[in-house]
Structure 1
Amino acid sequence: MRLVKICGNRTFEDTAVSINQGADYIGFIFSSESRRQVKANDVGRWMEAFPKEMRPKLVGVFVHPTIQFLEDVLAAVELDCIQLHGDEDEEFVKQVKEKFGLSVWKALPHHEHVIEEMEKFSHWVDGYVIDSRVKGMWGGTGVAFDWSNVSDYTIWAKNHRKLCFIAGGITPENITELLEKGAENIDVASGVETNEKKDVEKIAKLIEKVKG
């Protein structure tokens, strides 16, 4: 089954739209390097409006966090997954996995040696997010990468029993092409927004195409 993650939810309204449209995962960015940064206390408060049985899995997105910062966020909001979206090394990823016991995803920028990078982190992560590389930015670029190798990433992840999400510049208009290239799991933020707010129609259209 294909999975959809709606990332970069900035408000209660964004969160409600993403949940009500049937996202499998919703992402909140806890990094000061992102314009989509949110506060953990706010997210914890927003989630109180949704019964646990109707919530998708919650993903916290972090860039170069400290262990203390992760602890502080987790004290305020019950995350299902920690997504490390910076240049975190294997030792730090291992430390996060062993300390918190949650699902851990590693974001990797698309380049010619991505599968080698996936292999490097495979002992400690449960999934990957393959995203565009844009200088000075850690995700949320709205820029697509060359999708010709997407099927290789998907197959490698499947063979190693890992999730693999494709991110970067995905929209309801180009999602069919990406699926034809071999993607299964989709991570989208700006591609389902209008005026920097989550758009009900765009999310519904994208999820319909992904889920078939």
Structure 2
Amino acid sequence: MPSVQIKICGLTTREALDAAIAARADYCGFVFYPPSPRTLTPVAARDLADRAGARIGKVGLFVDPDDALLAQGVEAGSLDAIQLHGRETPARAAEVRARFGLPVWKAIPVTAAADIERAAEYREAADLILFDARTPKGALPGGMGLKFDWSLLAGYDSPIPWGLAGGLTPHNVCEAIRATRAPLVDTSSGVESAPGEKDIGKIAAFCAAVRSA
């Protein structure tokens, strides 16, 4: 099995970014969603992006954004990809990809097999599907430490590249990879000591666990 790619999402400090790079994560996630404790201002995003340079892929997370917010985030974060984490339709995902000329990752909340099947709707509109746990109504759309039934992805044959998110930690990510054969794993709260506060040791442990899976 090829090596599993790693994304550490919701980075807000230089120390956390440096830890992700040192642990050889493939992507870091910058959140542009004000209700989140991990959201970045354009100034903060620019500082992290400048520090990262080309050493790690930079993915911007947005929730039902308008074009103005997307443009601001893409510029400030020097983004390599745009992650849509709201109710964006395939048409909207395709529009964003065409307008900004960047790969689009579409997060799909999962509670049942039918949610996995929805990925096919985005095969012409997105470059990667990210299966995440569905959060309760009124809660943040991600970063809540919730996971879904990984057996729903057993034997999954995706029409486009995909990844797994939702409640992944240094302690369970090996099990998740073995259960799903996910080619990419994404964590946020799973490497935190408190909401929005990344734990340097947990970042290193998560990446080491993935590479040992």
Instruction: Tell me the TM-score normalized by structure 2.
Output: 0.90
Q: What is the CA deviation profile of residues 75-103 of structure 1, one whole-angstrom value per residue up to 9, with x for unaligned ones?
A: 22210000000001122111101111111
| Percent identity of paired positions between Structure 1 and Structure 2 | 35
- Contact kept? 1:168, 1:188, Cα under 8 Å: yes
User: Of 132, 139, 143, which aligns to 1:140?
Assistant: 143
1:1-212 equivalences in 2 (<5 Å): 1-52=3-54, 55-110=55-110, 111-135=112-136, 136=138, 137-152=140-155, 155-157=156-158, 160=159, 162-182=160-180, 183-196=182-195, 197-212=197-212
AA at the equivalent of 2:96:
V
SS in structure 2 at match of 1:176: helix
AA at the equivalent of 2:185:
I
Q: Could you list the runs of 5+ residues in structure 2 that have no partner in the other structure?
A: none
AA at the equivalent of 1:80:
D
| Range with greater deviation from structure 2 (59-68 or 36-45) | 36-45
Q: RMSD of the alignment, in Å?
A: 1.6
- Contact kept? 2:15, 2:200, Cα under 8 Å: no
1:115–1:50 distance in 2 versus 1, CA, 3 Å? closer
| Range with greater deviation from structure 2 (200-209 or 116-125) | 200-209
Q: Aligned partners of 1:114 and 1:63: how far apart in 2?
A: 18
Q: Aligned partners of 2:51 and 2:146: how far apart in 1?
A: 33
Q: Aligned partners of 1:61 and 1:71: how far apart in 2?
A: 13
- Contact kept? 2:20, 2:204, Cα under 8 Å: no
Q: What is the CA deviation profile of residues 143-174 of structure 1, one whole-angstrom value per residue up to 9, with x for unaligned ones?
A: 1111112234xx422xx3x3211111111111
- Contact kept? 1:171, 1:192, Cα under 8 Å: yes
Q: Aligned partners of 2:123 and 2:28: how far apart in 1?
A: 23
Q: Aligned partners of 2:133 and 2:177: how far apart in 1?
A: 17
- Contact kept? 2:109, 2:131, Cα under 8 Å: yes
Deviation of 1:51 (Å) = 4.3
Q: Aligned partners of 2:50 and 2:7: how far apart in 1?
A: 20
SS in structure 2 at match of 1:16: helix
- Contact kept? 1:104, 1:126, Cα under 8 Å: yes
- Contact kept? 1:21, 1:200, Cα under 8 Å: no
- Contact kept? 1:5, 1:26, Cα under 8 Å: yes
- Contact kept? 2:90, 2:121, Cα under 8 Å: yes
Instruction: Tell me the TM-score normalized by structure 1.
Output: 0.90
Q: Aligned partners of 2:153 and 2:117: how far apart in 1?
A: 14
Runs of 4+ in 1 over 4 A off after TM superposition: none
Q: Aligned partners of 2:90 and 2:97: how far apart in 1?
A: 10
SS in structure 2 at match of 1:19: helix
AA at the equivalent of 1:210:
V
Q: How many pairs are equivalent?
A: 205
